[in-house]
């Protein structure tokens, strides 16, 4: 089955940025694109006008993608309903959902708009939230790694993203000495010259092992890991300034419920990083 990238589109600067990122992702992945515009139907007498306007908006977005990425297979669809419900439903079975932030000035320290926030919480696939100005070329993918969780979905997505874009992968993990217990590493594994039960040495060894395992499969990806002292939110938002794209994770809700729970670190990245941030659901 062919890969699908879904993008929520509205005729705004943020919508245009999301559209172009979706096109870039689809072109690198060899995927099709579904341009979705959600709208609230008006009074019964005006429903046809609202539907026509929504369809025209989705078609306009699709035409932009076809112009910028000739040969890309693009489908335009408009649906009446609550926007986050429409987008979450459209993303079922997709490889990636791309959303634009409602804050078009790209300033840091701003919450997501309500549509992006609720869509993110309700969507089963990885979600890219696009903020800030257009940046070329994309040379570095930053993977926010928690060596305590070792979420395979996050690491695997980051490696695949680096491969798609011929980018360098920089994996960063924060080491907060006051809060970080010993990382889970094989017995006897430790940094050279340090005891294997040294929490920082074990955290570094765990990060190195996570990367080494994937580099055996992704031989064309240039990857490096860095353990930085400090609170995770501060460390990762600062490291993101050196990257063009950030990959982080969020836990699935479980118990058969669709959606994710956004933790404080991912929340900080979404609010503070003026880069596209991909949130990858994991167990």
Please work out, in degrees rounded to the nearest 5, the angle formed at the alpha carbon of residue 19 by the alpha carbons of 14 and 23: 150
Peptide bond into 137 cis (omega under 30): yes
pLDDT at 112: 80
Query: What is the pLDDT at residue 187?
Result: 43
pLDDT at residue 2 in the model: 86
**Spans of the chain below 50 pLDDT:** 104-106, 185-191
Within 10 Å of residue 135's Cβ, how many Cβ atoms?
13
What pLDDT score was predicted for residue 127?
97
Domain 1-134 shares a fold with domain 135-283: yes
Q: What is the pLDDT of residue 256?
A: 66
- Listed residue (24, 76, 94, 67) closest to 276, CA to CA: 24
pLDDT in tens, 25-79: 999 999 999 999 999 876 665 678 889 999 999 999 999 999 999 999 999 999 9
pLDDT of 66 reads 96
Give 112-120 contacts, CB < 8 A, sequence gap 24+. Answer: 112/270, 112/271, 115/8, 115/83, 115/84, 115/87, 118/84, 119/8, 119/83, 119/84, 119/87, 119/88, 120/260, 120/262, 120/270, 120/279
User: pTM score > 0.85 for this model?
Assistant: yes
CB 120 within 8 A of CB 260: yes
Domain boundaries defined on the chain? 1-134, 135-283
Rounded Cα–Cα distance for residues 124 and 35 (Å): 18
Superfamily of domain 135-283: HUPs (3.40.50.620)
Arch. (CATH architecture) of 1-134: 3-Layer(aba) Sandwich (3.40)
Q: What is the pLDDT of residue 283?
A: 83
Rounded to whole angstroms, the Cα distance separating 129 from 270 reads 8
């Amino acid at each position: 089955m062919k890969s699908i990238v879904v993008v929520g589109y509205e005729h705004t600067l943020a919508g245009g940025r999301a559209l172009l990122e979706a096109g870039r992702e689809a072109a690198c992945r060899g995927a099709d694109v579904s341009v979705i515009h959600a709208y609230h139907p008006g009074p019964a007498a005006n429903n046809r006008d609202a539907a026509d306007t929504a369809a025209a908006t989705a078609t306009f977005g699709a035409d932009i993608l076809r112009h910028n990425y000739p040969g890309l297979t693009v489908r335009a669809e408009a649906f009446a309903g609550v926007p986050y419900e429409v987008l979450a439903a459209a993303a079922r079975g997709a490889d990636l959902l791309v959303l634009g932030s409602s804050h078009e000035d790209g300033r840091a320290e701003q919450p997501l708009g309500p549509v992006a926030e609720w869509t993110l919480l309700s969507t089963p696939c990885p979600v890219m939230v696009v903020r800030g100005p257009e940046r070329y070329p994309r040379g570095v993918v930053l993977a926010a790694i928690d060596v305590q969780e070792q979420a395979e979905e996050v690491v695997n997505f980051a490696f695949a993203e680096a491969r798609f874009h011929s980018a360098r992968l920089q994996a960063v993990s924060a080491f907060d000495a006051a809060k970080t217990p010993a990382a889970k590493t094989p017995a006897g594994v430790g940094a050279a010259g340090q005891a294997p039960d040294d929490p920082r040495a074990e955290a570094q060894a765990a990060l190195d092992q996570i990367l080494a395992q994937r580099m055996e499969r992704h031989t064309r990806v240039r990857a490096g890991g860095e353990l930085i002292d400090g609170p995770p939110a501060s460390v990762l938002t600062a490291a993101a300034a050196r990257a063009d794209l950030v990959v982080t994770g969020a836990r699935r809700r479980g118990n058969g419920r669709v959606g994710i729970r956004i933790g404080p670190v991912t929340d900080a990245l979404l609010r503070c990083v003026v880069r596209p941030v991909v949130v990858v659901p994991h167990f």
